[in-house]
Amino acid sequence: MRTTVGIVGGGPAGLLLARMLHRAGVDCVVLESRTREYVEHRQRAGMLEQGTVDALRACGAADRLEAQGLVHRGIELRFAGERHRIDFPALTGGRTVTIYAQTEIVKDLVGLQLAEGPPLLFEAEALAVEKPDSDAPVVRFRHEGREQTLACDWVAGCDGFHGVSRRAFPAATSRTYARDYPYSWLGILADVPPSCEELIYARGERGFALHSMRSPSVSRLYLQVPNGTDAADWSDERIWDELAARFAIDADWTLARGPITAKSVTPMRSHVHEPMRHGRLLLAGDAAHIVPPTGAKGLNLAVSDVSVLARALTEVHRTGSTQLIDRYSELCLSRVWQATRFSYDMTRMLHAQPNGDAFESRMQLARLRRITASRHAAAELAANYTGPPLAV
């Protein structure tokens, strides 16, 4: 098999890149190791920056998002028994965010790609990206029980944190910056209308909690738990009791409970791989960087990477100019590091320290007080949360 751009991974990054390239008339093929069923039901992100919504709209993949997405104009911060609203449009000159599940974005993109192309192969596991520093890189993959090769002009490594693309970078010229956090998130989906209109980020001595949602009838909630926690040790009743305790304020407020339909534990890490390009191999999304979910940046960064990448590959294909592709890594990494910083700050400001560090706890409260007392500090949070405009 041969194509212009071989895309490894059919998550949001790979699928959106394929959609963008296809509309620009650039040939590509997507190889996805899992089944369609699996990728369409993997529970993950839910908060989309305006730039992400715009990018999906620009490539004709936002019909359902526009009909069903929930536009949010703020978030609530809870701490010390108080609630404080951060008003995004007022603080950012009109920016909002949209709640629409990653599962639905993936379903929309898979549906479009299977109907209109380009080729999307499920259960096609890339084994290695070979000769990335030549003019003719190759992806070796296993599909339908046999090993095959995809010869390409360019390879986009969109295969997530555990993918194989990153391994094709030479250790001597690349580097990973990483930070693990001493806590994880236990996430649940529940068939119950959300108890709030906007997301609630709650900080307290019992630990962090987040109330998000998927639709007017489905809630998504998260609890800070110790690393190594087994979701099976948390009964539904224990989860609801703990959530209710963490969201409690010095006023009447009730958390509605309902049947829990999914439960999983996610570790928290920051991870940035530099550079994002080696020869004709370009990384995008979680393959290049991971952020803790507190800032809700992971999916949004994946979309901003592929927006730059699609533009750069289209330029090379149409005009032969490598001007943009030569700046790919630099353009993406400046946004990546800002999102990494923001996610790190949000994470550290809101999670209880497992060792009960009293000084750190006071620092968290001081940061939260600053944000809720100063319009400048609140505007800084709002600008980061809603995200900067896309680079290209």
Among 98, 294, 340, 347, binds ligand PHB (CB under 6 A): 294
What does the DSSP 8-state code read for residue 148?
Answer: E
Please tell me whether residue 211 binds ligand PHB under the rule CB under 6 A. no
Q: Which two tokens stand for residue 151?
A: 């010869």
> Quick one: which segment of 27-35, 167-175, 199-207, 364-372 binds ligand RFL (CB under 6 A)?
27-35
Cα distance between residue 31 and residue 10, in whole Å: 7
Residue type, 245: A
When asked if residue 364 is in the footprint of ligand PHB (CB under 6 A), the reply is no
Which residues from 70-129 bind ligand RFL, rule CB under 6 A? 102, 125-126
Residue among 160, 173, 123 nearest 144 (CA): 123
Q: How far is the CB of 159 from ligand PHB (least distance, A)?
A: 22
State the nearest-atom distance from the C-beta of 10 to ligand RFL, in Å. Answer: 5
Residue 268 near which of ligand PHB, ligand RFL, none (CB within 5-8 Å, type-dependent): none
**Residue 44: CB minimum distance to ligand RFL, A:** 3
Regarding 69 and contact with ligand RFL (CB under 6 A), the answer is no
Residue 392 contacts by C-beta under 8 Å, 6 or more apart in sequence?
307, 308, 311, 324, 331
- CA 4 – CA 9 distance, rounded (Å): 16
Does 204 bind ligand RFL (CB under 6 A)? Our answer is no
DSSP 210: E
User: Which range in 45-53, 166-174, 348-356, 365-373 contacts ligand PHB by CB under 6 A?
Assistant: 45-53
Residue 352 DSSP one-character state:
P
Least Å distance, CB 67 to ligand RFL, is 20
What is the DSSP secondary structure assignment for residue 353, as one 8-state letter?
Answer: P
Smallest gap from residue 295 Cβ to ligand RFL (A): 8
Burial class (CB in 10 A: 0-12, 13-18, 19+), 284: buried
Near ligand RFL by CB under 6 A: residue from 158, 350, 371, 379: 158
Residues 6+ apart with CB under 8 A from 236: 259, 260
- For ligand PHB, the closer of residues 70 and 249 by Cβ is 70
- Smallest distance, ligand PHB to C-beta of residue 295, A: 6
Which of 18, 296, 378, 379 contacts ligand PHB by CB under 6 A? 296
In the block, tokens 């019992």 appear at 206
Distance CA 270, CA 291 (A): 5
- Amino acid (one-letter) located at 270: S
Cα atoms in the Cβ-side hemisphere of radius 13 Å centred on 307:
22
- In the bound state, the residue with its beta carbon closest to ligand PHB is 46
SS3 content of the chain, % helix, strand, coil (to 5): 40, 30, 30
Q: How many whole angstroms separate alpha carbon 317 and alpha carbon 319?
A: 6
Residue 74 near ligand PHB by CB under 6 A: no
For residue 350, state whether it binds ligand RFL (rule: CB under 6 A). no
Q: Which residues are catalytic?
A: 72, 201, 293, 297, 385
- Smallest gap from Cβ 222 to ligand PHB, in A, equals 7
Residues 170-209: x where in contact with ligand PHB by CB under 6 A, - otherwise, as a string: -----------------------------x----------
Dihedral Cα 317, 304, 285, 91, nearest 10 deg: 180
Taking the alpha carbons at both ends of the chain, their separation in whole angstroms is 31
Q: Which of residues 257-286 bind ligand PHB (CB under 6 A)?
A: none
Contact residues for ligand RFL, defined by CB under 6 A:
8-14, 31-34, 39, 44-47, 102, 125-126, 158-160, 163-164, 185, 187, 266, 285-286, 293, 296-300, 302
Instruction: Enumerate binding residues for ligand PHB (CB under 6 A).
Output: 45-47, 199, 210, 212, 220, 293-294, 296
